[in-house]
Amino acid sequence: MPAKLIFATNNAHKIAEISPLIAHQFQLITLAEAGIDIDIPEPHDTLEANATEKSITIHRLTGENVFSEDTGLEVTALNGEPGVKSARYAGDTRDFGKNINKLLVNLSGQSDRSARFRTVVSLILQGKEYQFEGICEGHISETPSGHEGFGYDPVFIPAGANRSFAEMSLREKNQYSHRKKAIAKLIDFFNNNFA
C-alpha cells in the first residue's frame, strides 16, 4: 500500500502535472480530497520560505505527511523578476494574460531573453522538513503561442526545444519541467531513505 501524501495546493494544473509522476510511490491526496478549503498564504520573499509556509500550514491542520511547491519565473534581464512574485506580477487578480503582457512589455528591446523556472518543493515527512529544487532553463519568446498549461507557459521556450510549454502535451512538458525535476528528487530521496 503506497504511503499517503497530501499535496498542499489548490492549483489543478500542478495536480495534473504531478499526479502521474508520483502515483507509483504515493497515494496523492489533494486538499479538496482532504476536505480542506483554504487559500494558503504565500507571504514571504523567497520560494523556499513560501514552500515551507504552505506545507507547514497543512501539516499543522492534518498531522499528515504533506508536500507543497512554490515556483517562480526568473528572467535574467529583469534581475530575476518576477521570481517569487510571479503569480501577482501584474496585480492581485493573478491574471495570467496580464502577467504575460507585463513581462513582454518589460522585455521589449532586450536582446537577452534568457529565463528559468525554479521550483522549490517542501516535504514534511514524519514531522521533519526536506526541500528539493528543480530548474528549467530557457527563454521568453516575443509573442505568446499555444493553449496548453498555465501561467507563463505560452511565452516560455525550454532550452533544447523550439516550442513553448503551452504548445506541448503534459508528457512533453514533463521532459523539461522544473516541477518534474524537483519531484524526481523527492521520489529518489524517499526511495533511498524510507522505501
Q: Does 134 sit near ligand IMP (CB under 6 A)?
A: no
Region of 45 (left: φ > 0; alpha: ψ -120 to 50; beta: rest) is alpha
Measured from the CB atom, is 95 or 129 closer to ligand IMP? Answer: 95
Closest CA to 83 of 94, 75, 72, 93: 72
Closest CA to 167 of 154, 151, 177, 179: 154
Nearest-angstrom CA–CA distance, 191 and 3: 12
Q: Does 53 sit near ligand IMP (CB under 6 A)?
A: no
Q: Which window, 65-73, 101-109, 138-146, 181-189, contacts ligand IMP (CB under 6 A)? A: 65-73
Q: Does 152 sit near ligand IMP (CB under 6 A)?
A: yes
**Residue number with the smallest Cβ distance to ligand IMP:** 151
Q: How many residues lie near ligand IMP (CB under 6 A)?
A: 18
Q: Does 11 sit near ligand IMP (CB under 6 A)?
A: yes
Measured from the CB atom, is 65 or 71 closer to ligand IMP? Answer: 71
The answer to whether 92 is a known catalytic residue is no
Q: Does 153 sit near ligand IMP (CB under 6 A)?
A: yes
Supply φ then ψ for residue 51, to 5 degrees: -60, -45
Note the residues at the interface with ligand IMP (CB under 6 A). 11, 42, 70-71, 73, 86-87, 94, 96, 99, 117, 149-153, 165, 179
- Residues with catalytic annotation? 70
